[in-house]
Chain A
Amino acid sequence: MRPPVRADVGVDGQESRMTTAQEIAEGQPGSATVNGRARGLAGITSHTTALDWLRGLGLTGAKEGCAEGECGACSVLVARPAIAATGESGAAQATGGTEWVALNACLLPAAGLDGQEVVTAEGLAGGGSAPERLHPVQRELADRGGSQCGYCTPGFVCSMAAEYYRPGRADGSAEAGDPEAGDPEAGDHEAERGATEQGPNGFDLHALGGNLCRCTGYRPIRDAAYALGTPAAGDPLAERRDRPPPAVPATRVSPAPSGSARSSGSTGGGYLRPGSLAEALEILAEHPEATVLAGSTDLGVEVNLRGARPAYLLAVDRLPELRGLAAAGEQIRLGAALSLTEVERLLARRVPLLDDLFWQFGSRLVRNAATLGGNLGTGSPIGDAPPALLALDASLVLASWRDGGVVERVVDLADYFTGYRTTRREPGELITEVVIPLPLAGLTAFHKIAKRRYDDISSVAVGFALDVHGGEVRRARIGLGGVAATPVRARATEEALTGRPWDDRTVAAAAERLAEEGTPLDDHRASARYRAAMLGESLRKLYAEHPDPALPDGALA
């Protein structure tokens, strides 16, 4: 492995306020701007969710429906830096502007809102319910029967408003979506997908994939979304997009004062957001027990549903050094703290395998927060990124603080997972980048088997990356999730394919081999028998759909 190349850094365009750990430790959380008004964060603990904080302010529009980011009833808008791919390498660069991002407030620590701007359903209508002041999103939903019980509605409003304001939405630039939304056997995938899951106004229905409604059956909500126009002149949220995003201050929230046995003593703990990677690593070296926090889409669930109260939370999601992306020379380097949505946009379909993955990874609300670093950091055997990244032969850059400086090492993802939720990441180490070698394989696919097409957890997931030249499989990489205590490579299957003709016989034999990989279990998602069957079927399906593979247009060769 070559020494790592530095990715572009500092993409978020805000002035980075350099602080020392000492300075942060003495700080207190300040305030956040909610619906245009400064609201103090004093009184929160490190585990207070943004949702509970907002509701405590009397802004009860955002609701708790599930407390685990599945239902979107708590969706709110948060101002985030707009970033775009630039130049030949597609490097991530801040545009200098702001984007309205919808997030699950139930997963977001309130401390993470320090200095940030939030808009809720109440704020979109200026605090009242006068018909003439309704936001266009609210107007369409109200008029078209988009609410029945109304409990999920404020969340739908915010998710829909984020898509309403998405840059490029009205010019029809779609987000990555389900190619099977149309009819893959009927011809043009993209056109079909566009016809069924994107409105004539460019509205991507996946923007609402993380919002559940138990009453309407969704049709009127879809119609409301597809009826939206473009923001009017003078629309304050639209105008806000042209100004710089809020700065990200270093934040410190003390541990809960209530004498919980679980909260740490006075020597540290609580919620800490350092300003630089070096600072973060220094703190982590001193407190290897600290829980590293990025999008909080996993930890938030542990806190809300399983009573986890980690004493020390270290927020790394806004560290500029972790938010670069570039395709340079023989690698693509993805910053570990970019949100999945950001990676999806910045890659702009240049990695078809990841494009297959993105729309199936959680929901838009989750992808707006979740990071690759987090998905790999938790070491879950059913994370959806590992099977895809294993197939891409990805490696990770792990950084730590040693002898007064930052030290990096590179670990192949295939060697990274060591057991159920355990990895080669050492205490004090942080995942900073995911590196994908180029050129990409010509035939790739990501197959996710789950009960529900949108926003479900995989029963099994399979990433394929095959090089087929002249009818022969030259190289095969297959990553599997959900079939063992860790994500694994299907090495026996890879072997059964490599060097053989890409034909019925090879595929039939390799599919049988694939069905025997791993040790799938019976659980509430699927039987072991089904999981094993799905492994074999995934290869048969890949072959049926690509009997004669050619490199897709636009992919990075």
Chain B
Amino acid sequence: MSRLSERPDGAVVGEALPHESATLHVTGLALYTDDLVARTRDCLHAWPVQAPHAHARVTGLRVEPALNEPGVVRVLTAADVPGVNDAGIKEDEPLFPTEVMFHGHAVCWVLAETLEAARRGAERVEVDYRPLPSVVDLRGAIAADSFQGAQPTVQRGDVGAGLARSTHVFGGEIEFAGQEHFYLETHCSLAHVDEAGQVFVQSSTQHPSETQQIVAHVLGLRSHEVTVQCLRMGGGFGGKEMQPHGLAAIAALGATLTGRPVRLRLNRTQDLTMTGKRHGFHASWRVGFDDDGLLQALEATLTSDGGWSLDLSEPVLARALCHVDNAYWVPDIRLTGRIARTHKTSQTAFRGFGGPQGMLVLEDILGRCAPRLGLDPAELRRRNFYVDGQATPYGQPVRHAERLATAWEQVHATGDLAARQEEVARFNADHPHRKRGLAVTPVKFGISFNLTAFNQAGALVHVYKDGSVLINHGGTEMGQGLHTKMLQVAATTLGVPLDTVRLAPTRTDKVPNTSATAASSGADLNGGAVKDACEQIRGRLTEAAAGALGVPPGEVWIRDGVVGAGGTDRTLTWAELVHAVYFARVQLFAAGYYRTEGLHWDSTAMRGSPFKYFAYGVAAAEVEVDGFTGGYRTRRVDIVHDVGDSLSPLVDLGQIEGGFVQGAGWLTLEDLRWDTGDGEGTGRLATQSASTYKLPSFSEMPEVFNVALLERAHEDGAVYGSKAVGEPPLMLAFSVREALRAAVAAFGPPGTSVDLGCPSTPEAVYWAVVAARSHRPEETPRSGPTGADGTRPDEPPPPDPDAPARLPESELAPHLLGGPRADVGEGR
């Protein structure tokens, strides 16, 4: 057991505690960025002028009519930018564009005394557009060779030889949709100019440091002149990793130009039409199995729909390629990735960060091929699990692969799957119009930012003379319970009761150069840093206590706020010790730092060990489908998930359940639609409100929902033996889609292979039922597996040799150091 992972007796970590802000949440007293507006005097409100074209040149912009609107104070345009007119990290996202790149792109912003006046002012801004040709769907982009960024390949062995030795070869395609984050709190920033011209921005951001850097960059300031604070977010899910920066910069620009606080809050429609989403993907593939159903080879080309700019598309694609394998050993494999450029919002991070998209490709393949192989899908999956000693296609050994099997067996046992499969079969035999399906799927998800440099974090811990403790760390709270865990880590490390410790909001002037709170890494990284700071303080206190108690330091213990030592009955309270230590002139605060050891990644070769460990999980889902409508219900879900030794079980349970339902939403319900016609509205997001974009409600909650944390799951490489939990459970929801596939298959003759649209909405399920009943592949462009009869499916397309290469990290770092924006992120 490592020093990092070992837990002391009486640890506060591991206790099942409610969210640290729970009482503030339920009483409505928890403050979010926009709640500050009612508490801020003389605030101006910002409203965008959004372009009604998917692609157009701005040929004229007249703001005077808006200025004549009562209440309008100023219209912000490119001419106002003192620094660099760019909000991205790739210098491809002009903040005030002259070329409109998507329908709804903001060309300028109106500031007014009221939101109503700003809205009216925006209606009166006159913009001339010259429409340009646009590409608004992924297939269209592929056909038009419209790509951006690097086209990496993950490769091992000889895929041609693997396919040649396979006794069953299938090929096919899948196209699946992205997902809107739909954090309940839309993007919001509130900026004002502080004393001595310093800019203070409160922002709903997962990445305060990068928000700070972009704001500074746009304003032509240095980072130490800009402070960003995030009180908390009303949900982030990746949507506030990159997207807040430009919006914060607009607010900050307005504040510097007017001298008044500026509030920029997107309403829901603006948020939906302006900010990035999960990438939808297209994949074409060939797969080979032997007679036992063991995977021999997989060749696939994944194309993501990146939208108009790169944003985080490259690292999302990298993670997708690193997760196609999911839990399965594929000896010969070649996976190529491409990013389409389309005239849509710039797609971005979303819980799982490409991992879910990569995994979906192979899970879909297995679901479609199992009947062709004459195997039960669960059996096919189980046979192909990694075992210890095997490595991923990019070369990382799969440590603790046996946990997959353990979780799998536990779900089978506690979920009573064998008996329930029989029950499902009986039900299906008795019911011509309703069919049930039960499916079980695994998850293996790599933890750490792919890009090694981001795997570092800082913390600042203060112990005040009265013994109270205040902690700051670089992570942000978006509901995931990070702050709850950090309080537990601090209390554990210091040996004090939880209520001794308070946590201050995340601010860039407390902890600098932080990484995004993303990649599920918040607790691992910041927990390491908080623990480090607390250990420094505890070390000093232990020395002092040893002196006071007359024992060697090794004998001193601090537990639950009491300080004692072996060999003496004398004890001190924590507060007494702290008080004494202050007068002994000992430093009672510390900066903590943590970096994840043992990572390496070559992003050009797409090889290395980028992940500290893998998180594992298994889910079984049972659904019932109405054959008349394709409507369905999730009857029961059983999950066993690996969170290591949980830091905070109630928090982790919430992450697992919530991630699962969010994943089920992506796969079965949430349905982003753009106008892909040739008319004037081309490129317009058709689902731009809560009434048209439906996320899971109570009706999608599994009726029976059993979640267990995998036992004996200590992780040596992370703080107090825990594992990250934010993203991996989302992918447990593949079980729902596979259960739908099983239920649909039951409408057809035995052995029916079901090609199911994704998202698998009632309509998609209905058409699959129609196809299953007539026992033919569904009539959609998503062709089913072919080639079992001996015809060889088409080879997936190779990468474009002219695509730019991604720099390996070793070259990237000096490159960054030399640039003007040295510390702006390069993706992850």
- Partner-B contacts on A (CB < 8 A): 55-68, 70-71, 73, 120-122, 124-125, 128-131, 134, 137-139, 141-154, 157, 180, 183, 185, 196, 205, 208-209, 211-220, 222, 256, 258-260, 301, 304-305, 307, 449-457, 459, 523-527, 530, 533-534, 537-538, 540-541, 544
Most buried by A among B31, B34, B116, B433: B116
Q: Please pick, from B32, B183, B761, B766, the residue contacting A533 in the complex, using a CB distance under 8 A.
A: B766
Residue of B nearest to A47 (CB): B116
From residue 684 to 699 of chain B, which have CB atoms closer than 8 A to chain A?
Answer: 686-687, 689-692, 694-699
Q: Please pick, from B35, B123, B695, the residue contacting A214 in the complex, using a CB distance under 8 A.
A: B695
Q: Please pick, from A149, A196, A307, A537, the residue contacting B183 in the complex, using a CB distance under 8 A.
A: A149
**Chain A residues whose CB sits within 8 angstroms of the CB of B697 once the complex forms:** 209, 211-212, 218, 452-455
Most buried by B among A60, A183, A459: A60
| Closest beta carbon of chain B to A19's beta carbon, Å | 30
Contact A218 B698 (CB under 8 A): yes
Q: For the side of the interface on B, what is the size category? A: 35 or more
B653 interfacial by beta-carbon distance below 8 Å = yes
**What are 23 residue pairs bridging A and B, where the CB atoms are less than 8 Å apart in the complex?**
A58-B39, A65-B184, A65-B690, A66-B268, A68-B690, A142-B22, A142-B26, A146-B26, A149-B184, A183-B624, A209-B699, A217-B660, A218-B697, A222-B698, A256-B116, A258-B70, A258-B71, A258-B114, A305-B689, A452-B696, A525-B692, A527-B763, A537-B628
B404 interfacial by beta-carbon distance below 8 Å = no
Contact A68 B691 (CB under 8 A): yes
Residue of B nearest to A459 (CB): B763
**Chain A residues whose CB sits within 8 angstroms of the CB of B181 once the complex forms:** 214
B119 interfacial by beta-carbon distance below 8 Å = yes
B202 interfacial by beta-carbon distance below 8 Å = no
**Chain B residues whose CB sits within 8 angstroms of the CB of A259 once the complex forms:** 70
Complex Cα distance, B432 from A360, in Å, reads 25
| Closest beta carbon of chain B to A285's beta carbon, Å | 31
**Chain A residues whose CB sits within 8 angstroms of the CB of B434 once the complex forms:** 185
Mask for B643-669, Cβ within 8 A of A = 1, else 0?
000000011011001111110000001
Complex Cα distance, B21 from A227, in Å, reads 21
**Chain B residues whose CB sits within 8 angstroms of the CB of A60 once the complex forms:** 28, 31-32, 34-35, 38
Residue of A nearest to B677 (CB): A522
Contact B763 A150 (CB under 8 A): no
**Chain B residues whose CB sits within 8 angstroms of the CB of A260 once the complex forms:** 116, 120
Contact A214 B183 (CB under 8 A): yes
Q: Please pick, from A64, A301, A523, the residue contacting B686 in the complex, using a CB distance under 8 A.
A: A523
**Chain A residues whose CB sits within 8 angstroms of the CB of B186 once the complex forms:** 65
Contact A541 B628 (CB under 8 A): yes
**Chain A residues whose CB sits within 8 angstroms of the CB of B817 once the complex forms:** none
Contact A222 B701 (CB under 8 A): yes
Q: Please pick, from A73, A137, A138, A217, the residue contacting B657 in the complex, using a CB distance under 8 A.
A: A217
Complex Cα distance, B382 from A446, in Å, reads 44
User: Beyond the given A121-B28, A213-B184, A214-B184, could you list 15 further A-B residue pairs with CB under 8 A, ordered by the A residue number?
Assistant: A70-B691, A121-B26, A129-B29, A130-B23, A131-B23, A147-B19, A147-B26, A149-B234, A150-B22, A150-B234, A217-B701, A258-B70, A260-B120, A537-B628, A544-B433
Complex Cα distance, B182 from A215, in Å, reads 10
Complex Cα distance, B626 from A144, in Å, reads 33
**Chain A residues whose CB sits within 8 angstroms of the CB of B700 once the complex forms:** 218, 452-453
Contact B32 A63 (CB under 8 A): yes
8 closest pairs, A vs B, by CB? Answer: A61-B28, A149-B479, A151-B234, A150-B25, A217-B661, A70-B690, A121-B28, A148-B479
Mask for B384-419, Cβ within 8 A of A = 1, else 0?
000000000000000000000000000000000000
Residue of B nearest to A210 (CB): B697
Complex Cα distance, B789 from A250, in Å, reads 79
**Chain A residues whose CB sits within 8 angstroms of the CB of B660 once the complex forms:** 217
Q: Please pick, from A214, A452, A544, the residue contacting B235 in the complex, using a CB distance under 8 A.
A: A214
From residue 3 to 34 of chain B, which have CB atoms closer than 8 A to chain A?
Answer: 18-19, 21-32, 34
Complex Cα distance, B700 from A131, in Å, reads 32
Contact B654 A205 (CB under 8 A): no
Contact B657 A147 (CB under 8 A): no
Contact B185 A145 (CB under 8 A): no
Most buried by B among A68, A73, A138, A147: A147
Residue of B nearest to A55 (CB): B38
Residue of B nearest to A539 (CB): B628
Contact A219 B701 (CB under 8 A): yes
Residue of A nearest to B649 (CB): A145
Most buried by B among A130, A154, A219: A219
**Chain A residues whose CB sits within 8 angstroms of the CB of B27 once the complex forms:** 61, 121-122, 124-125, 128-129, 134, 138, 154
Contact B654 A145 (CB under 8 A): yes
User: Given A56-B38, A142-B26, A149-B478, do A185 and B431 touch, yes or no (CB 8 Å)?
Assistant: yes
Most buried by B among A57, A144, A214, A538: A214
B356 interfacial by beta-carbon distance below 8 Å = no
Contact A451 B762 (CB under 8 A): yes
A-B contact count (CB 8 A): 269
B481 interfacial by beta-carbon distance below 8 Å = yes
Residue of B nearest to A525 (CB): B692
Contact B28 A66 (CB under 8 A): no
| Closest beta carbon of chain A to B224's beta carbon, Å | 31
| Closest beta carbon of chain B to A106's beta carbon, Å | 10
Complex Cα distance, B19 from A450, in Å, reads 35
**Chain A residues whose CB sits within 8 angstroms of the CB of B766 once the complex forms:** 530, 533
**Chain B residues whose CB sits within 8 angstroms of the CB of A214 once the complex forms:** 181-184, 235, 237, 658, 662, 695
Complex Cα distance, B698 from A196, in Å, reads 11
Contact B762 A67 (CB under 8 A): no
Contact B657 A220 (CB under 8 A): yes
Q: Please pick, from A153, A211, A452, the residue contacting B669 in the complex, using a CB distance under 8 A.
A: A452
Q: Please pick, from A59, A205, A449, the residue contacting B28 in the complex, using a CB distance under 8 A.
A: A59
| Closest beta carbon of chain A to B479's beta carbon, Å | 3
**Chain A residues whose CB sits within 8 angstroms of the CB of B160 once the complex forms:** none
Complex Cα distance, B661 from A148, in Å, reads 14
**Chain B residues whose CB sits within 8 angstroms of the CB of A64 once the complex forms:** 34, 267
User: Given A122-B27, A214-B662, A451-B761, do A150 and B650 touch, yes or no (CB 8 Å)?
Assistant: no
**Chain A residues whose CB sits within 8 angstroms of the CB of B478 once the complex forms:** 149
Contact A147 B182 (CB under 8 A): no
B587 interfacial by beta-carbon distance below 8 Å = no
Complex Cα distance, B18 from A216, in Å, reads 13
Complex Cα distance, B117 from A9, in Å, reads 43
**Chain A residues whose CB sits within 8 angstroms of the CB of B698 once the complex forms:** 205, 208-209, 218, 222, 454
| Closest beta carbon of chain A to B31's beta carbon, Å | 7
Most buried by A among B185, B697, B703: B697
Complex Cα distance, B71 from A71, in Å, reads 31
Most buried by B among A60, A67, A150: A150
**Chain B residues whose CB sits within 8 angstroms of the CB of A208 once the complex forms:** 698
User: Given A62-B28, A138-B26, A452-B700, do A215 and B763 touch, yes or no (CB 8 Å)?
Assistant: no
Q: Please pick, from B432, B658, B692, the residue contacting A215 in the complex, using a CB distance under 8 A.
A: B658
**Chain B residues whose CB sits within 8 angstroms of the CB of A218 once the complex forms:** 661, 696-698, 700-701
B536 interfacial by beta-carbon distance below 8 Å = no
Contact B19 A145 (CB under 8 A): yes
Contact A73 B184 (CB under 8 A): yes
Most buried by B among A67, A131, A141, A151: A151
Complex Cα distance, B27 from A128, in Å, reads 7
Complex Cα distance, B477 from A196, in Å, reads 34
| Closest beta carbon of chain B to A202's beta carbon, Å | 17
Complex Cα distance, B702 from A219, in Å, reads 8
B464 interfacial by beta-carbon distance below 8 Å = no
B260 interfacial by beta-carbon distance below 8 Å = no
Residue of B nearest to A213 (CB): B184
Residue of B nearest to A150 (CB): B25
Contact A63 B431 (CB under 8 A): no
Most buried by A among B26, B27, B119, B432: B26
| Closest beta carbon of chain B to A503's beta carbon, Å | 17
Contact B689 A122 (CB under 8 A): no
Residue of A nearest to B764 (CB): A530
Contact A454 B699 (CB under 8 A): yes
